[in-house]
Amino acid sequence: MLFINGLAAISPQPTLNGDQFFREIKEYDTNMLQCIEPDYREFFHPNALRRASRVLKLGWSGAKICLDDAKIKIPDSICLGTGKGCFKSTETFLFSVNENKEEFVPPSPFIQSAHGSIAAQIAIQTGCQNYNMTYSHRAFSFESALLDAIMLLQERKYTNVLLGGVDEIQEIQFKTFERIGHYKKPGISNLQLLNDNSQGTIAGEGSTFFLLENSSGKNTYAGIKAVHTFSNPPDASSIKTEINNFLQREGLSAEDIDLVLLGLNGDVLFDHIYYDMMKTVFSENKQAFFKHLCGEYHTSSAFAIWLAAKMIRKQEIPETILLNDQPAGKLSNILIYNHYRNVNHSLLLIGSHK
């Protein structure tokens, strides 16, 4: 088990309000949820703030809040997952190449266009000169970074890993995916997401970070027990097999799971997969979901881990995420099951550290 000894989440919800755990839920009537951003002047020198792109601001701010929570100034290593990377900077650079006929192109958007720019910014700000890796594997981006973090700590080469999942939604990419039916029509309330029986979901974004260590302490929230990914399952039966085999490898059964946190996103083309699991494998479990709070994006599973870790520490389940009225006892094991359009499937087991 790896221990979460610090965390932070910048999201479309007021998740930076300290100990107030979803006392306030923000409702949106749009198909694109954007983060409630902090005051970036607290995190950047004015000259750096002027040059930094929005996703770099989101990334460094989330990382700094996490490090402060863990009471660490310089992480031993950095692992980051991002599905879209610095999309806006790439867009700005390419447009400037075209408009300036490939002459006198401003360098900053080019420098910041690489996917690794977010983790690089964190390294520059903290002075971390050790292992630094970014993964961009679509909806497995965060899970890939997490697996790398697990291996780094198992090797005992580093004492801690700053793990992050960062993605932003930009207008041009949003319109592209909206045009091909990935998103619902505007006017849908995020709090009524599962009641809208239509194709598509709502876009989201977020910057979520964790400080992972091999040992627990006074500030430990929860532990990450296991992670498993699989792709393109042929049918529901194979998904059930993957879930049961995963639990069996961890010495558990479905009855040992205190809460199942599902990636339901309101898309009628794909939510039936979750509903099938809810009626079969997880029929006796307390069930909840999370994407009505953060929207759908490639690293949304990081937000789910943040939510699970907070619930385990507080031993509290927010009413707004519940799907059934099964009784809940002590939260010792939370299973996160998420998939992206039935292509990338992930299972994340979060448990109590005590």
Pair 231, 165 in one domain:
no
Read off φ and ψ for residue 64, nearest 5 degrees.
-65, -40
pLDDT (average), residues 310-315: 95
7-36 pLDDT tens trace: 999 999 999 976 678 888 999 999 999 999
Cα 77 to Cα 82: distance, rounded to the nearest angstrom: 17
State the CB neighbour count (10 A cutoff) for residue 3: 22
What pLDDT, on the 0 to 100 scale, is given for residue 343? 97
248-304 pLDDT tens trace: 999 999 999 999 999 999 999 999 999 999 999 999 999 999 999 999 999 999 999
Pick from 41-50, 91-100, 239-248, 320-329: least confident: 91-100
Both tokens assigned to 321: 């995420």
CA atoms within 13 A on the CB side of 127: 3
pLDDT band, very low/low/confident/very high, at 247 (cuts 50, 70, 90): very high
pLDDT band, very low/low/confident/very high, at 322 (cuts 50, 70, 90): very high
> Residue 235 contacts by C-beta under 8 Å, 6 or more apart in sequence?
none
pLDDT band, very low/low/confident/very high, at 147 (cuts 50, 70, 90): very high
pLDDT band, very low/low/confident/very high, at 354 (cuts 50, 70, 90): confident
pLDDT band, very low/low/confident/very high, at 169 (cuts 50, 70, 90): very high
Both tokens assigned to 181: 């039916």
pLDDT band, very low/low/confident/very high, at 89 (cuts 50, 70, 90): confident
Pair 263, 336 in one domain:
yes
CATH of the domain at 124: 3.40.47.10
Cα 91 to Cα 96: distance, rounded to the nearest angstrom: 9
State the CB neighbour count (10 A cutoff) for residue 335: 28
289-301 pLDDT tens trace: 999 999 999 999 9
What pLDDT, on the 0 to 100 scale, is given for residue 140? 97
Both tokens assigned to 139: 């909806």
What average pLDDT does the chain have?
A: 93
> Residue 5 contacts by C-beta under 8 Å, 6 or more apart in sequence?
70, 160, 211, 212, 213, 216, 217, 219, 220, 221
Domain count, the chain: 2
Pair 131, 263 in one domain:
no
Choose the final residue of a domain: 163, 194, 213: 213
Choose the final residue of a domain: 163, 187, 213: 213
Strands 2-10 and 206-213 turn out to be antiparallel
Q: Which long-range contacts (CB under 8 A, 24 or more apart) does 14-17 make?
A: 15/306, 16/65
Cα 79 to Cα 81: distance, rounded to the nearest angstrom: 7
DSSP string, 282-304: TTTS-EEE-HHHH-B-TTHHHHH
Choose the final residue of a domain: 188, 213, 238: 213
Pair 248, 273 in one domain:
yes
31-75 pLDDT tens trace: 999 999 999 999 988 888 888 889 999 999 999 999 999 999 999
Pair 89, 133 in one domain:
yes
Pair 168, 23 in one domain:
yes
pLDDT band, very low/low/confident/very high, at 340 (cuts 50, 70, 90): very high
Pair 228, 181 in one domain:
no
pLDDT band, very low/low/confident/very high, at 195 (cuts 50, 70, 90): very high
Strands 333-340 and 259-262 turn out to be parallel
Pair 29, 135 in one domain:
yes
Pair 158, 244 in one domain:
no
**In Å, what is the CA distance from 58 to each residue of 52, 141, 285?**
10, 17, 35
Pair 180, 279 in one domain:
no
Pair 102, 177 in one domain:
yes
Pair 19, 65 in one domain:
yes
What pLDDT, on the 0 to 100 scale, is given for residue 209? 98
* CA terminus-to-terminus distance, the chain: 11
pLDDT (average), residues 205-216: 97
SS3 94: helix
Cα 108 to Cα 252: distance, rounded to the nearest angstrom: 50
What pLDDT, on the 0 to 100 scale, is given for residue 65? 97
Range of the domain at 250: 222-351
Residue 106 has pLDDT above 90, yes or no: no
Residue 346 has pLDDT above 90, yes or no: yes
Pick from 111-120, 147-156, 224-233: least confident: 111-120
